[in-house]
Structure 1
Amino acid sequence: MPKIKSKSSAKKRFKITGTGKVRFYSACLRHNTSNRPTQMKRQNRGGQIMCASDATVVKRNWLRGQ
């Protein structure tokens, strides 16, 4: 039986921290940022930790093939 592949899109978008939490980066910062408020751009800078309920779904797809 072949090895189950993990989701490539999940591997690229999320990282698992050392404590097992899921880290992600916010959207809406790539282009057209001149039309966005300064507060929105400032809050979306850097990574964020995903809530536990969403993290279970991401971990299931990300770790599926390992």
Structure 2
Amino acid sequence: MTDVKQGNEHKASFGATMKAVFWSFLGIRKRSDYEKDSASLNPVHVVFAGLIGVMLFIGVLVALVKFAVS
């Protein structure tokens, strides 16, 4: 059983985590992709990617508001 478990524990890179978080922000995820990501994504990477995504989103909103007001 240990051999089977080790074969399925392929951890995704930070770039793959950023991609998954980006698509999750948009709300466009296939169920199969979600299940694959839930098995391979590192929770710490997901938190950092989410924080980066939120900061980028807020930055874009602030820039749009400044552009619209000026």
Q: What is the TM-score with the length of structure 2 in the denominator?
A: 0.32
- Choose 1 or 2 for highest CA Rg: 2
Bigger helix fraction: 2
Q: What is the TM-score with the length of structure 1 in the denominator?
A: 0.33
Point out which structure has higher relative CO (alpha carbons under 8 A, 6+ apart).
1
